[in-house]
Amino acid sequence: MNCLVTGGAGFIGSNLTKALLEAGHSVRILDNFSTGKRENLGPFQDKIELIEGDLRSYHIVHEAVRDIEVVFHQGALPSVPRSINDPITTNQVNVEGTLNILDAAKDAGVRRVIYASSSSIYGENPALPKQEDMTPLPISPYAVAKLAGEKYCQAFTRSYGLETVALRYFNVFGTGQDPKSQYAAVIPLFITAFLDGSQIRINGDGEQSRDFTFIDNVVQANMKAATAENASGEVFNVACGDRTSLNQILDNLRKVTEVDVEVIYGQDRPGDVKHSLADITKARNILGYMPAVTAEEGLRRSVIWYRTARKQ
């Protein structure tokens, strides 16, 4: 099938692009490289079509979806802290950009749009595990924007018949994730600190827990969502269905790297939730999603990847 991957030069987008190409699909990428990296496209740059442009551009987005069967909408401005610092741009890219994609997909006759949502939409809802029918209580501009994108997807399915599937990612990590970004995720920061033997700072007491999800599981969910029956208009958790505290991550890294580092604990970070755990029953039943890599195994693979990358 002909696929468009928005944000295809990013961490998730580039891993998804690689898997799509290996499965024999044609891939076009739309990226403005504000957070994505050109080097992520290096291994397959001669096998893709690249459109360099912004999700906020109506005309560029319409050009990008032409002759496309499935859109994998990964493009976004990520990060809760970024959204707290700049809620306006977060809204413009993540809400208006998503609306551009949906409108263009409708006009171009795209079969299905797969939307990358976030577990952050659950926010202050204390119930565990998180189930898709829970009332969202987002507490950051990023989470509000992702929830708005979900609702736009469902509105386009009901109003125009455009097939949409929203995937709520839970703390994705793995090979190719940038540890140098100002808003880098916690696991690449931890891994590089262990490999450097440098100090680690943690917001809070380290007992906050997440359903850490290795990148291969997220790629699998996207590819299944592209073809699954009875999935249109629905929202699915994408995770492992297990939670791990930051302190447990540190313990696992001590074992894998055979290194120990100093850890300093501080204040909780605004906009963060204490615990997160997904119920993935719905994704199993409808998408046929089965997480293939545990958080512990994903951590081991990630350490190997970062060690190799540092030697190149």
205 and 140 inside one domain: no
Same domain, 237 and 250: no
Q: What is the CATH number of the domain that holds 190?
A: 3.90.25.10
**Statement: residue 299 has pLDDT above 90:** yes
Residue 181, domain member (yes or no):
no
68 located within any domain = yes
- Pair 166, 260 in one domain: no
Quote the percentage of the chain above a pLDDT of 90: 90
Shared-domain flag, residues 146 and 252: no
Residues 165 and 305 in one domain: no
Polymer length in residues for the chain: 312
| 203: helix, strand or coil | strand
Position 179 in a domain? no
Q: How would DSSP label each residue in 262-278?
A: -EEEEPPPTT--SB--B
Give the pLDDT confidence of 197-221 residue by residue, as tens digits: 999 999 999 999 999 999 999 999 9
Please say if the pLDDT value at position 183 is more than 90: no
Task: Look at residues 199, 207, 206, 296 and name the one whose alpha carbon lies nearest to residue 253.
Answer: 296
At residue 143, the 3 state secondary structure works out as helix
Same domain, 160 and 104: yes
Cβ–Cβ under 8 Å, residues 254 and 260: yes
Residue 269's pLDDT is 76
Q: Are residues 8 and 79 in the same domain?
A: yes
| Domain limits for position 269 | 186-209+243-276+301-311
The average pLDDT across 238-251 equals 97
pLDDT class for 271, splitting at 50, 70, 90? Answer: low
Asked if residue 168 and residue 70 are part of one domain, the reply reads yes
* 253 and 220 belong to one structural domain: no
In the chain, the DSSP E strands lie at 2-6, 26-31, 49-52, 70-73, 112-118, 163-169, 172-173, 200-203, 209-210, 213-214, 234-238, 244-245, 263-266
Same domain, 196 and 57: no
Examine residue 180 and state whether it is found in any structural domain, yes or no. Answer: no
Asked whether residue 283 carries a pLDDT value surpassing 70, the answer given is yes
pLDDT tens figures, 2-15 = 999 999 999 999 99
Mark whether 271 and 285 lie in a shared domain. Answer: no
Count of domains for the chain: 2
Domain annotation covers residue 6:
yes
Are 73 and 197 in a shared domain?
A: no
Domain assignment present for residue 167? The answer is yes
Q: What is the pLDDT of residues 89-134, one digit of tens each?
A: 999 999 999 999 999 999 999 999 999 999 999 998 889 999 999 9
SS3 117: strand
- State both tokens at 298: 């994903």
User: Does residue 177 lie within any of the structural domains?
Assistant: no
Q: Is residue 178 in a domain?
A: no
pLDDT band per the 50, 70, 90 thresholds, residue 179: confident
Helices (H), 168-245: 186-196, 215-225
Q: Give the CATH number, domain containing residue 20.
A: 3.40.50.720
**Residue 220: predicted pLDDT:** 98
